[in-house]
Amino acid sequence: MSTKRPNRVVCREASHAGSWHTASGPQLNAQLEGWLSQVQSTKRPARAIIAPHAGYTSCGSCAAYAYKQVDPSITRRIFILGPSHHAPLSRCALSVWIYIEHLCMTFLLTQRFMENYGRQECLNACLCRQMKMNTVLKCICLIRLKPWKAMESHKDEFTIIPVLVGALSESKEQEFGKLFSKYPVDPSHLFVVSSDFCHWGQRFCYSYYDESQGEIHRSTEHLDKMGMSIIEQLDPVSFSNYLKKHHNTICGRHPSGVLLNDITELQKNGMNMSFPFLNYAQSSQGRNWQDSSVSYAAGALSVH
């Protein structure tokens, strides 16, 4: 077998530096360390997390609440489930490439996962397709995340499996939940659902407002926390019904649906789990119809 490192890709963020982070190199590293240092770890390490994927300056402090619950000493394989922002997709897509250099770390994106842990099961069942490199590079939800920072002390000891999740039907979310449910049983596996919450304002074509909650940002927070409460109940059917009723613009609604169905399968096998949300934030506080905002939430699944 060849020892040559294949499909090596360098990811540069300079073209979007202003919108994603204001610091770079050591300054960015210190900024991320600062956010993580301000958060307490829970008693049990996360088996799955939901974390925002906006720019570090916007959501870094919120995301730290989720990533702080990751135990780098036991985590060896990280599944990142992110929504398809750019590619039209009705299934899920797995990466066909292996390495990516991102900021100060090289990720191993393992195609061996597909070879040894269900390649034929995924592809032959017509559930997954392979995504091209340029598709992944466009997806902020897959590459502009912080698992590398949480895992820095064991940076050569883990691999990442990026899964791009399309606009799935409820039945497809159930199918993928079953498909992936074998992996969280292993405590060395971590699932990361990459998702921001409500995108509110005219530029997002969404202006839900419940005047009984007071100002717009209060209404938005109430709407988000209704959805977060349902996720905490680990109820995929109620979450789907919530989305149908309120149409909340949660970009990672389908990855979240897959995770909830995944958890449902695990519960059938007797696993006792909880998923508390640990932090909530908004990019700005909307007070009039010309404003806009994006909401962020961080939560972690633990097994008891």
3-state SS, 133-198, equals HHHHHHCHHHHCCCHHHHCHHHCCCCEEEEEEECCCCHHHHHHHHHHHCCCCCCCCEEEEEECCCC
The CATH number of 8-303 is: 3.40.830.10
**53 token code pair:** 């994927």
3-state secondary structure of 223: helix
CB within 8 A of 74, min separation 6: which ones? 45, 187, 188
Q: What is the pLDDT of residue 192?
A: 93
Number of other residues whose CB lies within 10 A of the CB of residue 153: 8
CA–CA dist 58, 189 (Å, integer) = 28
Domain coordinates in residue numbering, the chain? 8-303
49 and 69 Cβ atoms separated by less than 8 Å: yes
Q: What is the pLDDT of residue 132?
A: 52
Number of other residues whose CB lies within 10 A of the CB of residue 210: 13
CA-to-CA dists, residue 118 to 44, 228, 265, 277, angstroms: 28, 31, 18, 31
280 and 295 Cβ atoms separated by less than 8 Å: yes
**277 token code pair:** 């949300």
The identity of residue 54, as a single letter, is: A
**273 token code pair:** 């789990």
User: Consecutive 10-residue runs of the chain (304 residues): their mean pLDDT?
Assistant: 35 36 64 88 91 85 94 90 78 60 43 47 48 48 60 80 88 92 90 95 96 97 98 98 98 96 94 96 96 97 93
Helix/strand number for the chain, H first, E second: 12, 13
**163 token code pair:** 């899964």
CA–CA dist 300, 93 (Å, integer) = 24
Q: What is the pLDDT of residue 17?
A: 32
Q: What is the pLDDT of residue 32?
A: 83
3-state secondary structure of 23: coil
Measured over the CA atoms of residue 47, residue 106, residue 128 and residue 296, the dihedral's sign is: positive
Q: What is the pLDDT of residue 279?
A: 97
Number of other residues whose CB lies within 10 A of the CB of residue 292: 16
Measured over the CA atoms of residue 95, residue 101, residue 102 and residue 108, the dihedral's sign is: positive
